Amino acid sequence: MGKYRYEITKVYRFEAGHRVWNQNLAEGRGSQLSGNACPPENKCRHLHGHSYVVEITIGSDTLDADMVMDFYHLKSAVKELIDYRLDHSFIVDRNDPLFPQLKAMADEFGLKLFVVDFVPTAERLAEFIYKYLKRKFEEAGVKDVGVVKVAVWETATSKAEYSE
């Protein structure tokens, strides 16, 4: 059973680059599973991109016009973030040691950065989108509907979810 009696999920897609600048596969949770052996390189420290898939699940214990919310309204709530700010951007942590150089290149060449205050892993992006949508609902005065979870797929086989 879910958090609410009724839950709906909408799926979004966007293309973006990022880097996990603090990745160290020889340390951290789970490193003992590979014998603390580090492959020749920490691949995710490099600039790279993904075809992201985002699943947003919202819910309610009641229906309005036989719906939790029309999918159109849910799409409207995140359209600006996903379609205009994240899509075809480079998501960068302002604490990344390369940030000053990336920002200078973006300014000089008109490149699209989406600057965040965290390492842009799938987990943290899921949390960011969750909190963004929750804030949108609060600002708009949406009642009796809550954000259940946000899942971010980086690849066809790897996703992270965030819920409260």
Torsion of CA 12, 162, 124, 83, to 10 degrees: 20
| 27 a catalytic residue | no
To the query of whether residue 55 is one of the catalytic residues in this protein, the response is no
* Choice among 7, 55, 88, 161 that is catalytic: 88
With helix as H, strand as E and coil as C, how does 56-125 read? Answer: EEEEECCCECCECCCHHHHHHHHHHHHHHHHCCEEEEECCCCCHHHHHHHHHHHCCCEEEECCCCCHHHH
* Catalytic position from the list 44, 55, 123, 161: 44
Catalytic residue among 18, 50, 127, 154: 154
- Catalytic site includes residue 48: no
List, by residue number, the catalytic residues.
44, 88, 154
